[in-house]
Chains A and B, each alone.
Chain A
């Protein structure tokens, strides 16, 4: 039973990071109808900035201070997003989807190498936070407290996001733009501003996902590309453009990954993709997507 509890916690750990990255991707698609191939790189950027802040600049500072630094990566990713959307993406909304995919693919290549340029080719670690957080004992096995913190942040982020999208005026504007951009614009909504805000929020989520995971893993080159592919699976299962879908997809993928690591490590990724394909065959728009 307790053995099961540990697996469940690990699944939730994967799910909270996945929810943040895939949720950001889905939010951006929902509002702007753009699939950002560089989204994984914003996740990696968040991870690098936090690792750099915690592991490099302020290494040795007391643990509570380090926790305060955790969101640094998320803020940095949001700022990067806020700068990228008006300059690079805006010219492409009226053009064919192929070009949107291509420009974000170019962005992916650029960001990938910018991170190599800024932080070098070696992994950047912020493990101090993970080590200092101690552990609890679950049925005789130590379980790191930090994992529980990540799960908690994921839950809080989900609740905040839900409240943000469904209970605030900004949320109404966001949903209106997502449903009918032209009508929203006719009603006096500054669509350009909503786009910047939505993109920034999506990047913030990706950056937060990266920032949360980096004390446990480390920031390495290529982590963004891997994260993007997992986020794709999540949104394909849950439905592109739906936050509920991102949550459901993240939980499913989190559980399957944890099972996969324990029971079928070789075909873990293959099984995930096959689930995504099966969902698509049964429900083309995903579990929660609008057809």
Chain B
């Protein structure tokens, strides 16, 4: 896989902040400007952005296409639902910790098997393993609720139990909770991909043999990347459940993994910000497509095919190319 050096070149932290700060400011102010519905929709988008960030660590920085990330998302979500059902927990912080532990355990186990393979076999294996969890959630209905799923009530944030309107809670308190965790995740991921470990992953992706010659432990690096990726996705699953109020086996099905791949490609998986943009845009796209027609899958499928045919670098890639063109024209003009 060839990756444009321009897109992946590590930008200086200062320049990254320069791009990020206005976006963060908008995200902070938004709940006071936009209506509750759009705010909650954005919260969904940010949650999916965490999952897509984790997924992208494997896809672009490690060169492994997972078609089974629904597994870790689902494990995070079901971990929360189980804590509610069996342990009567209602603190969001405990949910987050529980989901991280559960998704780390599952992704460590699955990753142990999967990272021995690359390319198509990796994709099929991750898909097959995620389907194991789906079939268990589907069949063991006395534990998981089967297709009815498990209900999750609104949690308490930082020890404060929310009172009153659930919608208002989701659009204000919970939105900020998600936003803070999202920013933390983005920062952590930024550090990871620019750390020596991140560089080692990219070296493995570009040339496995050479990487092992300079002493990179290929198998272990891939495994760690897999677990980190799984934990990010699991955390997203935990944050998603209170928004949705319900967890069903659908989020463990491999078609949900396909949606995670879709949003990453939509945003452009060769850039750091691509998956974030893609997740937020995909969430709007899907919500409106579902509301607009029963044949929303058809619509999204056509968009996906058109996208891969004509816009393989995604939204962010396209924007980058356009700004590059403008800059060059300006340079020649002056």
Contacts and interface: CB of A to CB of B under 8 A. Distances in A.
Contacts of A109: 297-298, 300-301, 304
A105 B255 CA distance: 9
A233 B139 contact: no
A97 interface: yes
B265 interface: yes
A106 B135 contact: no
A270 B132 contact: yes
Contacts, number: 121
Contacts of A270: 132, 135-136
A112 interface: yes
Contacts of B308: 92, 99, 102-103, 106
B68 to A, nearest CB: 11
B132 A273 contact: yes
Contacts of A106: 300-305, 308
A110 interface: yes
Interface residues of A toward B: which range?
35 or more
Contacts of B140: 266
B136 A267 contact: yes
B123 interface: yes
A91 interface: yes
Contacts of A37: 258
B120 interface: yes
Given A88-B305, A102-B265, A114-B298, A97 B119 contact: yes
B131 A273 contact: yes
B202 to A, nearest CB: 16
Given A102-B261, A109-B297, A269 B1 contact: no
Interface size class of B (residues with CB under 8 A): 35 or more
B310 to A, nearest CB: 10
> Interface of chain B, helix or strand or loop or mixed?
helix
A236 B305 contact: no
A95 B310 CA distance: 13
Interface in A69-115: 88, 91-92, 95-99, 101-103, 105-114
A103 B309 contact: yes
B117 interface: yes
Interface in B106-152: 113, 116-117, 119-121, 123-125, 127-129, 131-132, 135-136, 139-140
A280 interface: yes
B128 A108 contact: no
Interface string B291-318: 0001111101111110011001000000
A36 to B, nearest CB: 12
A233 B83 CA distance: 33
Given A106-B302, A112-B298, 17 more contacts: A97-B65, A97-B119, A97-B120, A101-B261, A102-B304, A103-B304, A106-B300, A110-B297, A110-B301, A110-B305, A113-B295, A232-B127, A266-B139, A267-B135, A268-B135, A280-B121, A284-B121
20 contacts: A37-B258, A96-B1, A97-B120, A101-B120, A102-B304, A102-B308, A103-B308, A106-B302, A109-B301, A109-B304, A110-B305, A112-B298, A112-B301, A113-B298, A229-B254, A236-B125, A236-B128, A269-B132, A273-B132, A284-B121
